[in-house]
Structure 1
Amino acid sequence: MAVAEFHHDAQDKLRHACTLVAQWYRDGRRVWIHCDSEPLAARLDQMLWVFEPLAFVPHVRDGHRLSEATPVRIGHDPAAAPADAIVLNMAQSVPAGFEQREHIVEIVSRDPADRDAARARFMRYRERGFDMQTRKAEA
């Protein structure tokens, strides 16, 4: 059964995203970070290089010549995501083709507008039969 995992009450969504991605990388998982804007993709790209001084998370933006060989990719088109990748959805809507994904993760901040958007995504995943999981964000 496909899983939609919501991390709620994040103080800093980007930092929490980087922490999760670093853990998944250490666990040998492939990750697709779905962004709905170029500025957000650029911020995540930069933050993955510097968020932990001793951490190394190999990542590229989708379309890079090494994207097929890199375990963490950042992009706008979820159809380009590897089939076995965890999808970290940083967009305000569900990614296109989400029904074919096995594991989608959402991070929800304390901002009321962000919570409302997340509730709508939560309902959409639940309507499609995803196993819904929630946990408190640590960052």
Structure 2
Amino acid sequence: MTRIEFHFNTSERLLHTCRLLRKARAQALRIVVVGAPSTLKQLDAELWRFQDVSFLAHCTAQDPPEVQRASPVALGSDPHAWGIDEVLLNLGDEVPEGFERFDRLIEIVSSDDHGRAQARVRWKHYKSLGYELLQHDLSKATDP
């Protein structure tokens, strides 16, 4: 069964996402990130400048197939287009289609009213399906 985690109360959603991707890559995991096209475009830019001394390799649906196959992090609207089933990171408002095929789903929830309201809907959906949900309150985190 998919392990589902909610990371909530983040005021810097994309920065937190970059940190999570860095940690997942340190564990040699492959990750798909889904969300609105504008959000993914912002994340793409943030991944290029996230750290001065390293680069988080990633691809988008616009990259050539050989780049997509070689990339450990994929950004796009279709979570199944990449052949990855390890980690799905959701930056969108909706429950990602086919999330249950992934080993792990991470929901990143911003601290604004809209983000919290949409997360509540997803939380209730996962609960209704019988998933045990883990929660991480980022307002209490001290991760650099």
Tell me whether the two structures share a fold, i.e. TM-score over 0.5: yes
In 1, are the aligned partners of 2:68 and 2:82 still within 8 Å (CA)?
no
Q: Which amino acid aligns with 1:6?
A: F
Task: Give the match for residue 13 of structure 1.
Answer: 13
In 2, are the aligned partners of 1:99 and 1:128 still within 8 Å (CA)?
no
Task: Give the match for residue 72 of structure 2.
Answer: 71
CA shift at 1:79, angstroms? 2.2
In 2, are the aligned partners of 1:67 and 1:73 still within 8 Å (CA)?
yes
Q: Deviations over 1:99-131 (max 9, x none)?
A: 322211011111112101001111111222323
Q: Which amino acid aligns with 2:118?
A: A
Q: Percent identity?
A: 30
Task: Give the match for residue 80 of structure 1.
Answer: 81
Task: Give the match for residue 135 of structure 2.
Answer: 134
TM-score, with normalisation over the residues of structure 2? Answer: 0.88
Aligned to 2:80, what secondary structure does the other structure show? helix
Number of aligned positions between the proteins: 138
CA distance in 1, matches of 2:126, 2:135: 13
Task: List 4+ stretches of structure 1 deviating above 6 A.
Answer: none
Task: Give the match for residue 55 of structure 1.
Answer: 54
Structure 2: 5+ residue stretches without partners:
none
CA distance in 2, matches of 1:53, 1:130: 39
In 1, are the aligned partners of 2:31 and 2:84 still within 8 Å (CA)?
no
CA distance in 1, matches of 2:34, 2:82: 9
CA distance in 2, matches of 1:126, 1:21: 26
Q: Which amino acid aligns with 2:4?
A: A
TM-score, with normalisation over the residues of structure 1? Answer: 0.91
Q: Which amino acid aligns with 1:108?
A: V
